[in-house]
Amino acid sequence: MIPMKIARLVPARSLIAYMAVPYSALADDPVQSRPAGATIQQIVGFLKFGGLIPDQGQVFADIAIALPLLGQYEHALVVIDASSRQVKLAPGNRPGETERTSLRLGHLEAAIILKTNGQNAPVVENLNRVVARYTNANIAELEDLKAEGFSYQRLRDKRLPRWACCEWGLVGDYFVIGFGENSFAAVAKTQRDKQLCLAHDPWFINAQQEISSESALATWFIGFDPLKRRLGEISRERVDRVLAELGATNISRDLWTIGLDGKALYWSRCFEANGKDEIRKYSNPLEYPDRHRNHVPLEARHYAILNLPTRWLVESVPRAWLASGAERRMAQWERIWQGLEAESGLDLSTLLIENLGEHMIIFDYPVHPFDVPFALTIAIEIEDAKAVRSSLSAILSAWGQYLDQRAKRNASTLLRVKVQRDEEVWYLQFGFLGPALTVTDNYIVLSWSPQAVRMATTAMSEADNQAKTAKK
C-alpha cells in the first residue's frame, strides 16, 4: 500500500517528504468517510458570520477546511529546499538594548502533491477560496507558465518577496500546489527524469526493504545532511543546537513508516548514523502489553502501542523548539522557568520526566466529526499521577505566561495562541478550541479538543473495567 508512485514525483534532494495513502482507505465504511471539506466550510462560515471565530483564528480555519483533501487523495507533502538569512533589527525600548541580528526565512520551495486522477474540483475550490481571501487584483499578479511541458499558474503577491509565490498545475494524474518560486518546476522535472526522484534513490529503496514497508500506510523521509547544509549556511550555531537536543547530530538521513495489521499499527524506522544503517521497531502488535491494550477504547478503529524513550521525547522536543529560536527567546523562557521553580520550590521538569513510562498508546477515538487527518488521541504512560499533574499545571501556566508576554510584546493578533484551563483539562485556543490534555491515574491523555479528551478518558476507563471483568 505504500505510495511508491507518488514518490516518483518527490525530488531525491528534498529536505523532508511525507507520503501517505488516502486516510479514507482506513475507514470501515467508505461512505461514512467521504470528503468533508464542503461541510467544514459551511460550518466555519456559519461560525465566522456569528462572530465565533475571531480574526486571528481564520488562518487555522482555512487549514482545517483543506485537511480533508488528504483523506480523499493519495498525497505527498514535501519541503524541497529552504534557506535562511540574517536581518538587522533596530534596538528595542529596553534600556541598554543595541542593534541585533535575527534569522528570517530566506527562500522556500515546498509542494503538496495530490493524486487526483482528474478529480480536481475540490482542490480548485480550496485554491480559489484561499486566493480570494488573502489577495486581490490590486496586489496580485497571475502568470501562465510551462515547465517540462506541463502548464501551470503562478500567483505573486506584491507585498511579499519575489520568491514567496504560489504555483499550481497538473503533472499527469497529479495536482501539484507549490509554495516558492520554481517549486512546481522542481516536481515536473523530477517526473520527467526518474533518476532525480526519491523512489529511485538507492538508500531510500534499501531502507524501505529493511523495514518491510511495502504494506505501509504512510512514510516520511528526513534528509538531515541537506538540512544541515542549507540551513546551516547562515545559522550553523542554531542548527547545531537543535540537532544536538534531538540527538540527530550524526544522522545523515532518516526514514519512518506506519503500517497496518488488523486494527493494530506497526511503526518502524531506518536511519543512517555515522555511515551505518540502524533499524528501530517502535510498535510491534505481537508484543503489546495487556495493561495498555486493555485501555484501548473498544470503539477505536485503529491503535498502536509504542515502546519508545518517552522521557527523552518529552524532554528533548521542547528543548529543541527553544534552541531553534533566538537567544533572547531562550533567555526569556529561562527567566520565567527559574522564577516558577523558585516559587514552587520544586524541580518541575525532573518531577515530570522521572514519572514518565516507556509506553505510549495512540488511537483514533473519538473520531473527528469531519475525519480530519491526525485527529488522534495519545496516552503517555505515567507513574505518580499527583506529581505529574502538579508539574504539568505549573509548566503549562508558565508556557501560557510566555505566550501572552510574547504576543503583547509583538502586538500580535494574527495566529494568537493562548493556553486555557477548564477544570482538569488544559487546552490551546487559537480561534478554535485546539489540542487538549488531562492527567488520569495511569496516563497523560492528549487529543484534538477538550471534549475529545473527556470522551477518550471515559472510554479508556470503560475498556479497562470490561477487561478486568472478563478475567474474573
Q: Which residue in 273, 293, 285 sits closest to 381, CA to CA?
A: 293
Residue 228 in grid coordinates:
544541515
Q: Is residue 234 part of a domain?
A: no
- State residue 58's pLDDT score: 42
Averaged pLDDT score across all residues of the chain: 80
Please identify which residue in the block is written with the cell numbers 473495567: 465
pLDDT at 67: 60
Which parts of the chain have pLDDT scores under 70?
A: 1-4, 24-68, 86, 88-103, 133-135, 212-215, 232-234, 325-330, 333, 337, 340, 344-346, 348-349, 370-373, 406-407, 409-416, 431-433
Is residue 366 reached through a cis peptide bond, with omega within 30 degrees of 0 on the bond before it?
Answer: yes
DSSP string, 190-246: HHH-GGGBGGG-HHHHHHHHHTTGGGEEEEEEE-HHHHHHHHHHHHHHHHHHHHHHH
Q: 216-235 pLDDT, tens per residue? A: 788 999 999 988 888 766 67
pTM of the model: 0.77
Q: How many angstroms separate the CA atoms of 197 and 189, rounded?
A: 9
- Output the nine-digit C-alpha cell for 242: 537543535
Q: Look at residue 430 and tell me if it is in a domain.
A: yes
Q: Is residue 386 part of a domain?
A: yes
- Number of domains forming the structure of the chain: 1
For residue 367, give the DSSP letter.
P
Residue 420 lies in a domain: yes
Would residue 152 count as lying in a domain?
no
Q: In the prediction, which pLDDT does 98 show?
A: 59
Predicted local confidence at residue 30, as pLDDT = 41
Question: Number of H helices and number of E strands within the chain?
Answer: 14, 18
pLDDT digits (tens, 9 = 90+) for 103-124: 677 788 999 999 999 998 888 8
H or E element, residue 176: strand 174-179
pLDDT for the residue numbered 396? 86
Specify the pLDDT at position 82.
87
Element at 32 (helix H, strand E): none
Residue 307 in domain: yes
Give the residue numbers spanning the domain of 328.
288-472
Does 459 reside within a domain?
yes
With beta carbons less than 8 A apart as the criterion, state whether 415 and 59 touch.
yes
Dig out the grid coordinates for 352 from the structure: 515530570
Q: How far is CA 141 from CA 151, 152, 158, 280, in A?
A: 17, 14, 8, 48
The verdict on residue 377 lying in a domain is yes
Say if residue 308 is exposed, middle or buried (CB neighbours under 10 Å; 0-12, 13-18, 19+): middle
